[in-house]
Chains A and B, each alone.
Chain A
Amino acid sequence: MSEVVLPRVSVRALRRPAVPPIRSSLFVHLVLIAVGGLVAYPFYYMLTTGLKDFFESITSPPTIFPTQGLHPENYIEAWSKAPWARYFGNTVLIALLNTAGELFTAVLAAYAFALMNFKGKAVLFTVLLATYMMPAEATLIPNFVIMTRLFRPNDLDHIAQGYLVQVLPFLATAFSIFLLRQQFLSVPKELRDAAVIDGAGHLRFLWSVVLPISIPALVTVAIISFYGSWNAFQWPLIMTSRPDIQPIQVGLNAFRDTARSQYHLLMAACSFVVAPIVLLYLVGQRYLVQGVARTGIRG
């Protein structure tokens, strides 16, 4: 098993309708709207509850539309009740470091696997495959033991270590190496030959030819990596106990205790936690869906 096998799905294929048409498009729309309504409803409920006043948010039966006026000040109140700016800042910092690191390690490794010849390639590739199959659960406890021995993430004097423990384990993933390798394999051999004739080394070729034509794949890796850090929960939950180094999801989880039954505040907080990632999705939808379709990862 030398080749990684991932579902082959091309994005062009996604756009080409081939199934026999259902006669009544009205029927199709009705089903899609009905199920889509159920799918989208929690988002609507989150947004509208975030705008209700406290008493309306705990009214039984709950109101579908806010009847007591809109209360955008909920957002300000929710924002003031927890160090959200810190949570956001931490998350962005961790996500950027992770994404940059992951891109760096993956680009180099993927290039070596795709376009270079060296001894032990098959062996190293098999090792990579093994780490790809190894679930995060396998390393959760040992990494916890190792990290708490090496670092003191919750020590006030060592704030950098608090970030380090959240970044280090994710600086390289087999997944992004595979994804980029697949892309680099499609670089025409003639380009490399031409570069060799021009006297360009591997680094030069990588930088000025391979990377520029691989931007969509790089964006896919970057978005998936960024998205992963934004939604990171279990690892920071066990590693961090101080808000000044905690990321957004852990912060939101803590805020559930702060808010208690003030669901209008909790829903407002959920809204602003979800908003950035939804925006990123709307902007980078093509790349994200492409990445999922091509590789079949599931969070």
Chain B
Amino acid sequence: MTAVVTTVVVDGHRRYHRRTVTGGAIAITQRAASRRRRLLIENVQAYLFLLPAFVVLLVFKIFPALYAIYISFFKWDIVQGAFRGIENYTDILFGSRAENWWRSVSTTITFAVITVPFEIALALVIAYLLFQKIRGRAVYRTIYYLPYITATVAAAAVFEYLYHPQYGILNTILSSVGLGPLRFLQEPTGIFEMIGNRFGADVPAWAAGPSLSLVSVAIFSIWHFLGFQIVIFLGGLGNIPVEYYEAARLDGANPRQVFTRITLPLLTPQIFFVFTIASIGVLRAFNEIFVLTNGGPLDTSRTVSMLVFRTFFQQGQIGFGSAMGVLLTLLILAFTLVQFRVLERRVQYG
């Protein structure tokens, strides 16, 4: 016997502790040497296994993330210019670009407020129904999941047609009940303002609400991601132990009590997970906005991702774009970290 690897737990941390036990008449040094060689080979082999993946990640993920910070300190219009320190950031947050930036932040938050809660509520209801023992569950699931797997560009092109002011089906439905026609994606007016105007009320600017254009994008977004949320909730429902329901039934709980006292609380992790993921999705939303509105009309659907894209790609201001990109990344990272924290706690206690 030469070396024994044991695990000792110190303050909850795992440490590998090698204890050498000497004994026996066989050449111990020789065995130890061969063991050391084997460990060395295993180490080298492991690094070789990791090499391809880590080279790619280093070159295209880790280095660029740092490079983005570097770029953001420069005036960089197509080509690298003068060093500006944090001036790009101060311009964005407080200076000449603050108005555009904060307007985009506000648009993004509005976009999140009009999509995320509806997405979660709708997905929860549908998942609950899909979890019932009913015929054709597989068919329903396939249908509900279909939008999520459809490419955004194609799906958005279809919605653009559905929303078309002249040829779209939505205006047909609206006019059949005496409303419309609406301009949907091309309508910069706030929806509350539109409702107010219909009843002859004067709506103040602060209460105008999100533009109909942004709401139309939000409806597309809910449609597109519904299937994803449903799958997460189905998984959560499947993890609830049957015993809880049986106990509740024995105690004479009615279905509503069972839902609000057992199902909903036990789904909290999934609800939170979907909440953070959907929020991140809103922060990252680009494809659908690019295709549906391109940030317009009158910039009312120009979210932060769209602003970053315009700044760096359409205006060629790579330094400013990069600074905005870094800020956007920090926002996304904040959500991601919160999400990981909460999930970690759930696993520990769950």
Contacts and interface: CB of A to CB of B under 8 A. Distances in A.
Residues of B contacting A: mostly: helix
B195 interface: no
B152 A233 contact: yes
- Residue in A60, A111, A253 with the greatest tally of chain B CB atoms within 10 Å: A60
A141 B134 contact: no
B322 A22 contact: no
Given A277-B150, A282-B142, A169 B235 contact: no
Contact of B270 (A7, A168, A231): A7
Nearest to B43: A118
Interface in B22-67: 39, 42-43, 45-47, 49-50, 52-57, 60-65, 67
B167 A57 contact: yes
Contacts of A274: 150-151, 154-155
B130 A32 contact: yes
Interface stretch (A154-162, A171-179, A187-195): A171-179
B235 A293 contact: yes
Interface in B214-257: 223, 225-226, 228, 231-232, 234-242, 245, 248-249, 255
Contacts of A68: none
A18 B68 contact: no
Contacts of A137: 284, 305, 308, 325, 328-329, 332
Nearest to B149: A281
A8 B180 CA distance: 47
A9 B61 contact: no
Contacts of B176: 61
A248 B152 CA distance: 12
A51 interface: no
B231 A62 contact: no
Contacts of A282: 142
Given A20-B258, A134-B329, A256-B157, A141 B143 contact: no
Interface residues of B, number: 118
A35 interface: yes
Given A266-B161, A298-B277, A131 B52 contact: no
A191 B89 CA distance: 56
A119 B132 CA distance: 50
Interface in B97-138: 122, 125-126, 128-136
A131 B278 CA distance: 20
A227 B145 CA distance: 14
Interface in A2-57: 3, 5-10, 12-22, 25, 28-29, 31-32, 35-36, 38-40, 42-43, 45-46, 49, 57
B89 to A, nearest CB: 15
A141 B169 contact: no
Given A109-B49, A142-B67, A293-B231, A61 B143 contact: no
A28 B126 CA distance: 9
B73 interface: no
A267 to B, nearest CB: 7
A105 B52 contact: yes
A111 B49 contact: yes
Given A9-B235, A168-B60, A274-B151, A252 B157 contact: yes
B126 A233 contact: no
A19 B131 contact: yes
A174 B57 contact: yes
Given A138-B64, A270-B157, A28 B50 contact: no
B273 A7 contact: yes
5 A-B pairs closest in CB distance:
A13-B238, A9-B235, A118-B46, A172-B56, A61-B172
